[in-house]
Structure 1
Amino acid sequence: MARSLDRSVRFTGSSGAVLNMLIVLGLVGAIGWYLSPYSPQPNELLVQAFMANPYLNGLILFVLFVGIMYNLRQAMMVSPAVSWINSFRNSVDPSRTRLPRAPMLITAVSRMLLDADERGGRLSQASTRAILDSVGLRIDEGREIGRYATNLLVFLGLLGTFWGLLQTVNGVSDVIGSLAGTTGGSSSDAVGSLITNLNEPLSGMGTAFSSSLFGLGGSLVLGLLDIQAGQAQNRFYSDLEDWLSGITDTTTSSRKDGGKASRDYSAAELEDTLVRLEQAITQLANAQHEGAGAVQQEIRQLGRTLLEGKAPKGR
């Protein structure tokens, strides 16, 4: 494609978004370290919360880790796409054989750009719209998985909450039943038994609150990371749209209407067409006028011939 038709657009990579994501993860890690036994002021809060239900809380932390890695990957996918487009714009090889392999995000884009470049023409409006739709669809599909991971953390947190509340209700029911069945013994023994039996209901409350803590906290972290990844991808989409608008042919567009192709004329072409149409109408009118005069002349000649043929011979 001609470089004069290539609008000067600077693509923004994903380095800024990745840096913001790492800052968020650093802040979360600092808070976790401060609440851990290894901080200058040792704290057993997170350890006790995790041990309230290590299996469910471990699953929540695993989903959080997978979601963090996925969001980082989504943000870093923009940089290879930007590098490929810059290589395409700056390439001096007419055959484009030295271009690297296009990343997954812009596979369809690379094929359309290379096909248009081989024809030596600009992109049509239909091709530009197809490129933007393809990139937008891939971005939306990728973000759906990130949103699902965020919602999954909320679900696991609520699941642990109801699980813990169920344990608490069952434990309180057992405590009340044990007190009702106790008929003898001193009051001190009854109080001691009550305190001992309340340990199980309280452990259920620990499960409920700890799973809610990890689930909602993890969803908050993934939500922030998803916003940063989405901003990086949206900036790339906007830059791509701006660049493609500079290499798209806006004078003509092809569309299907009853199997016939139509053409959109510019103002200059329309004016020239009207002038030629006016000249053709004038020539047609002149030809009709000349033809009518010739017909009238022939009729007069035929009338004189008939009159001469009917004249008396003896005169």
Structure 2
Amino acid sequence: MPTTHPHFSQPVRQILMMLTLLVLVLVGGWFTYGRILPIFMANRWLNGLILFVFALGVLACFWQVQQLMRSVHWIERFAGHRSNAVEKGLAARGVEDGDQPPRLLAPLAALLGARGPAGGVISTGSARSILESVATRIEELRDITKYLANLLIFLGLLGTFYGLATTVPAVIETIRALAPQDGETGAQMFDKLMSGLEAQLGGMATAFSSSLLGLAGSLVVGLLELFATHGQNRFYRELEEWMSGFTRISISGDGEEGGAGAGSGLMDQIAVQIDWLQQFHAERDVIRDEAAAMADERVLALVETVDALVKQSGAEREEASRQAAELTAAVGRMADGQDRLAAALQGQGQGQGSGVDARTLDVALERFARHLSEDRDEMVSELRLDLLVLTRAVRAARFSDPFRDDQLTIPPLSQRRQEE
């Protein structure tokens, strides 16, 4: 099955857009600070609660993006391990120890992390189950920001109704205060009207300020959630495309659900057995390669030993040849001296006894030279025998084809000594 290197996109563009939106909000708040502050101070406790919920919504949106980035990093490592295992024909063991999968990809890691060679293949039902689980977890993350956005709207409406609830009684009290009383001047009535209108306007300020802050905060949190949702949807599509590369498609009819289910279960069991066999053969190949590598190392060590022995035997043979040549030259010089001595004695006529001694010495020297030559030949034969024994050990270690002693052209040294 050909493998393609997967590619999962990081939500870089979404992060930039979210940061840009926050910068615009901060810049707008800085320039309108003088106008917003009186609105905020109309009801500082309720408006402070609205700002706190708004900050939670912003943090929740960025937390979603952070979870998405972690999931992208983890799935890239996991997919890279799986691709390498497929190319090398080895069993995929997942990622490194201690690398816990993110909560978003926990079902995928639980299923694919325990599969056979190279992660194996999965059925269409398993792939659908994994994708549905990932989609459900993504929706769970979105529910937090959706709730916070709706909570901002609710707090804004709550402030609106609270302001209206304080405005209506103030209107009633103002109308009652305008009733003329004995001895009351126009200035006093005007003061009552002003105090009543002040209470009414305070309630209206509370209502409109809370509604304004709540709706504006909900708008910003909704935009941030929209950007985060775009990144999550793209990750879901890329995950679906990657999983389609190792999903086995099963064909079943609508009216044959029972038989198709049994056949699908049987095919799953067969696929598991095939995966197990592939993993077994892959592990056996790895063990065989390791054994071959160890045998190669032993052969290299034996070859180095043989090379050192050959060099040592060559040096010893050259030394023995040099000593034999020197001894032969010395024996030759002694023989020449004996010949000259015998000739001188014969010339002087000193009898036959000296000639016999000279011949005896000559025979002894010849015997010594012959024994020296035999010892040299024996040493060379022993060296050749040692080389053959090492060659037999090398063949036995590498090719399982050793020589036998009856195949040696030169009999072993122990056998030759027994024959002598």
Q: Is the 8 A contact 2:167 2:204 kept in 1?
A: yes
Is the aligned partner of 1:21 residue 2:18? yes
Q: How many residues align?
A: 253
| Correspondent of 1:33 among 5, 30, 33 | 30
Query: What runs of 5+ residues in structure 2 fail to find an aligned partner?
Result: 86-91, 266-420
Query: What runs of 5+ residues in structure 1 fail to find an aligned partner?
Result: 37-42, 265-315
d(CA) in 2 for partners of 1:260 and 1:48?
69
Is the aligned partner of 1:227 residue 2:217? no
In the TM superposition, what is the alpha-carbon distance from 1:233 to its structure 2 partner?
0.6
Q: Percent identity?
A: 40
d(CA) in 2 for partners of 1:195 and 1:228?
49
Q: Is the 8 A contact 1:125 1:250 kept in 2?
A: yes
Is the aligned partner of 1:84 residue 2:74? yes
Q: Which has the larger radius of gyration?
A: 2
One-letter amino acid of the counterpart of residue 160, structure 1? G
Q: Hey, what does 2:248 align to over in structure 1? A: 249
In the TM superposition, what is the alpha-carbon distance from 1:181 to its structure 2 partner?
5.2
One-letter amino acid of the counterpart of residue 72, structure 1? F
Relative to structure 1, the CA distance from residue 55 to residue 122 in structure 2 (aligned partners, 3 Å threshold; closer, same or farther) is same
Task: Compute the TM-score of the two structures, normalised by the length of structure 1.
Answer: 0.74
In the TM superposition, what is the alpha-carbon distance from 1:174 to its structure 2 partner?
0.8
Between 1 and 2, higher relative CO (CA 8 Å, sep ≥ 6) is seen in 1
1:96-130, Cα deviation, whole Å (9 max, x unpaired): 35162111110111111112245752122122111
Q: Hey, what does 1:98 align to over in structure 2? A: 96
Aligned runs of 1:1-315 on 2, under 5 Å? 4-5=2-3, 7-36=4-33, 43=34, 45-91=35-81, 92=84, 94-96=92-94, 98=96, 100-118=99-117, 121-180=120-179, 182-250=181-249, 257=258, 261-262=262-263
d(CA) in 1 for partners of 2:203 and 2:25?
27
In the TM superposition, what is the alpha-carbon distance from 1:184 to its structure 2 partner?
2.7
In the TM superposition, what is the alpha-carbon distance from 1:49 to its structure 2 partner?
0.7
Of the structure 1 ranges 111-120 and 146-155, higher mean CA displacement relative to structure 2 is found in: 111-120
RMSD, aligned α-carbons:
2.3
Q: Is the 8 A contact 2:6 2:76 kept in 1?
A: no
d(CA) in 2 for partners of 1:24 and 1:97?
37
1:209-235, Cα deviation, whole Å (9 max, x unpaired): 100110000010011011011111110
In the TM superposition, what is the alpha-carbon distance from 1:144 to its structure 2 partner?
1.4
Q: Is the 8 A contact 2:156 2:213 kept in 1?
A: yes
d(CA) in 2 for partners of 1:129 and 1:119?
20
1:251-306, Cα deviation, whole Å (9 max, x unpaired): 678x9616962269xxxxxxxxxxxxxxxxxxxxxxxxxxxxxxxxxxxxxxxxxx
Task: Compute the TM-score of the two structures, normalised by the length of structure 2.
Answer: 0.57
d(CA) in 2 for partners of 1:137 and 1:258?
30
One-letter amino acid of the counterpart of residue 149, structure 1? L
Relative to structure 1, the CA distance from residue 102 to residue 199 in structure 2 (aligned partners, 3 Å threshold; closer, same or farther) is same
1:32-51, Cα deviation, whole Å (9 max, x unpaired): 11111xxxxxx2x2111111
1:112-160, Cα deviation, whole Å (9 max, x unpaired): 1112245752122122111101100101111112111111111111111
Q: Is the 8 A contact 1:116 1:123 kept in 2?
A: no
Q: Is the 8 A contact 2:6 2:242 kept in 1?
A: yes
d(CA) in 1 for partners of 2:264 and 2:196?
86
Q: Hey, what does 2:362 align to over in structure 1? A: none
2:93 partner SS: coil
